[in-house]
Copies of this chain bind each other. A is one copy, B any other.
Amino acid sequence: MSFNHRDEHIDENMLLIQANLDDMNPEWVSYIMDKLFEAGANDVYVVPIIMKKGRPGIMLNVLVEDGRLSDIEGIIFSETTTLGIRYMHASCHRLAREFERVETQWGTMTVKVGYHGGKLVQFAPEFKECEQIAKEYQVPLKLVYEEVRASFRLQKIKNASS
């Protein structure tokens, strides 16, 4: 399995790990999420749930390759308050991803592009760059997004017709 992870591919050895937390300080959640990403989690997210006795808990979800299960468990058991976790086998279908450059009034910026079956289906400005431009030039973030998207679109149309 020597494919480039930038190519569209299906990864069949994934686990979705879940832990229900009904007695933990929610202030810790972002710290724990960051730690799980650093340990190689492909995705981390939380879901508001209602647990026994009507407790407003949260369900922590971690999507990760099965080889990293033990590391992720280590973090969950040491950083959260849970006495158990569960996991289910999952397959991930990931699009081919490329970073492309686009010219804007604020200079060259980056767009993350996704291809499905060789066809461009997604493109999204890089959040951090847009945030930085919005702060530096004191323009609304939404305008930065708008211009990056419009410029990328125009560039694609030009290339297609040339």
Interface residues of A (CB under 8 A from B): 14, 16, 20, 22-33, 37, 43-59, 61, 63, 73-74, 77-95, 97, 112, 114, 116, 121-122, 124, 127, 131, 134, 140-142, 145-146, 149-150, 153-154
14 cross-chain CB contacts under 8 A: A22-B27, A26-B55, A26-B56, A29-B50, A29-B55, A44-B52, A46-B50, A48-B50, A77-B121, A83-B112, A84-B95, A86-B90, A88-B89, A150-B153
Is B95 a contact partner of A86 (Cβ separation < 8 A)? no
Q: Name 4 extra pairs, CB < 8 A, besides A31-B131, A81-B122, A150-B154.
A: A26-B26, A26-B55, A30-B53, A78-B116
